[in-house]
Amino acid sequence: MKDLTQNNETLATRRRAAMARGVGVMTDHFAAHAENATVTDVEGNRLIDFAAGIAVVNTGHRHPRVIEAVRAQLDAFTHTCHQVLPYENYVRLAERLNDKVPGDFAKKTIFVTTGAEACENAVKIARAATGRNAVIAFTGAFHGRTFMGMTLTGKVVPYKKGFGAMMPDVFHAPFPCPLHGVTTDDSFAALDKLFKADLDPARVAAIVFEPVQGEGGFYPAPTDFVARIRALCDAHGIVMIADEVQTGFARAGRLFAMEHHGIAADLTTMAKGLGGGFPIAAVTGRAEIMDAAEPGGLGGTYGGNPLGIAAGLAVMDVIEDEDLCARAETLGAKLRDRLAALQPRVPEMADIRGPGFMVAAEFIGTDGTPDAAMTNRIRQEALARGLLLLTCGVHGNVIRFLAPITIPDDQFAQALDILDDAILAARA
């Protein structure tokens, strides 16, 4: 007999009573099962997943090869703490990342558990390597919810509000956004003013940026911007950190988004798509920089957990064997074309952007201001029709599309039909 207490409404009531309200939840659909790009909730409702756990399951929910690899690791051992008893597959995944992360130089890797930890450790490593303290990040950035992570993050609400003073010696410059009138020249003019008024570049340990901003609105970094950051870092001995937590592992049509620019960062942070649904994160970078920290200065009890490592190795295999970088380009082009075809009927759709299958649409009202209300209506209309979407952006006026790259073609076509209907319904 069906348990009537296990429905979305009763579970939502229990959640509100038991959980801190600071853990925001976008829907009241409680997941019961997931397979590839389909999630079924506790009431049997099926959703086409265009969120992928926020770019985590690029290889789809429960990819058979990922599950097989994790199951085999479960049968061997689940935890020793690598710092106590090391294991070979940790070393093997490090070797693969050292080979694949952009940069024609010797590299080394550490594993941690979350993207925020990866960013924190990248800053630690940069400070150890340079003997400097200051860090520069950009407006609209998202680098995590730990204290250094949220300090680097370039958005106050909800990430910084109410949490008191941020970490010292972190500075922000404008991120290029042509739609909102910010060019690469504007970004560097602001950096020049920063260096003249507040910060000696000789005090800067690192510059941290996302090749495509995630929470900030899916704004791709222009290649001239990336090149000028590289030149600035080289001129002043600053460590260049690319945060590829959301952009990595085929999402942007390359294994790493920095490959679009032909420019290598000194350190690269990653998480999300690496684990295919299992928690794992990493920092990979120049060997001499990575070796700056003393033994024991890096790590963590769960860092590089064997299950996450096994999943990561399987994810790398799946991306290569199923050519998911090329598929991301194909799916992204189809999505951008479909949105562009709808654009004449939806003047509020001010921009369609993003490399590979990291696509976004931004909505601006007839008065020229960001239209967060319409954006949220689209999300709600889509959800009511069985399509799970995410919003993002400093103003909350961007729909981001993050379906698994493994989504079947017929399901993808169905999702695009739902998307059309949802966008048009939101205008009515």
Complete DSSP assignment for 56-121: T-TT-BT-HHHHHHHHHHHHH-S---TTTS--HHHHHHHHHHHHHSS-SS-EEEEEESSHHHHHHH
The answer to whether the beta carbons of residues 140 and 154 sit under 8 Å apart is yes
Per-residue model confidence (pLDDT) at position 428? 78
State the Cα–Cα distance between residues 412 and 417, nearest whole angstrom. Answer: 9
Cis before 222? omega within 30: no
Estimate the share of the chain in helix, then strand, then coil, as percent rounded to the nearest 5.
40, 20, 40
Question: What single-letter amino acid sits at 240?
Answer: M
Sign of the four-CA dihedral 184, 237, 123, 309: positive
Task: Tell me phi and psi for residue 241, to 5 degrees.
Answer: -115, 120
Per-residue model confidence (pLDDT) at position 176? 97
* Nearest Cα residue to 244 out of 404, 403, 122: 122
- Distances, alpha carbon 87 to alpha carbons 10, 299, 307, in Å: 44, 14, 12
Fold of 8-62+323-427: Aspartate Aminotransferase, domain 1 (3.90.1150)
Count of other CB atoms within 10 angstroms of residue 78: 11
pLDDT in tens, the chain (428 residues): 456 568 999 999 999 999 999 999 999 999 999 999 999 999 999 999 999 999 999 999 999 999 999 999 999 999 999 999 999 999 999 999 999 999 999 999 999 999 999 999 999 999 999 999 999 999 999 999 999 999 999 999 999 999 999 999 999 999 999 999 999 999 999 999 999 999 999 999 999 999 999 999 999 999 999 999 999 999 999 999 999 999 999 999 999 999 999 999 999 999 999 999 999 999 999 999 999 999 999 999 999 999 999 999 999 999 999 999 999 999 999 999 999 999 999 999 999 999 999 999 999 999 999 999 999 999 999 999 999 999 999 999 999 999 999 999 999 999 999 999 999 999 97
State the Cα–Cα distance between residues 248 and 269, nearest whole angstrom. Answer: 9
State the Cα–Cα distance between residues 384 and 390, nearest whole angstrom. Answer: 14
Number of Cα atoms under 13 Å in the Cβ half of residue 324: 27
Tokens of 227: 């090149």
Per-residue model confidence (pLDDT) at position 301? 96
Tokens of 116: 């925020």
Per-residue model confidence (pLDDT) at position 1? 47
* Topology alike, domains 8-62+323-427 and 66-321: no
State the Cα–Cα distance between residues 288 and 207, nearest whole angstrom. Answer: 18
Q: Is 239 exposed, middle or buried (0-12, 13-18, 19+ CB in 10 A)?
A: buried
Question: What single-letter amino acid sits at 315?
Answer: V
DSSP 216-280: TT-PBPPHHHHHHHHHHHHHHTPEEEEE-TTTTTTTTSSSSGGGGTT---SEEEE-GGGTTTS--
Q: Is 44 exposed, middle or buried (0-12, 13-18, 19+ CB in 10 A)?
A: exposed
Tokens of 124: 């630690």
The structural domains of the chain, with segments of one domain joined by +, span: 8-62+323-427, 66-321
The answer to whether the beta carbons of residues 375 and 399 sit under 8 Å apart is yes
Instruction: Collect all residues with Cβ–Cβ distance below 8 Å to 34 and sequence separation of at least 6.
Output: 40, 49, 61, 62
Cβ burial 315-349 (10 Å sphere, 16+ → b, else e): bbbbbeebebbebbbbbbebbbebbeebbeebebb
Architecture of the 66-321 domain: 3-Layer(aba) Sandwich (3.40)
State the Cα–Cα distance between residues 349 and 398, nearest whole angstrom. Answer: 9
Question: What single-letter amino acid sits at 78?
Answer: T
The answer to whether the beta carbons of residues 207 and 241 sit under 8 Å apart is yes
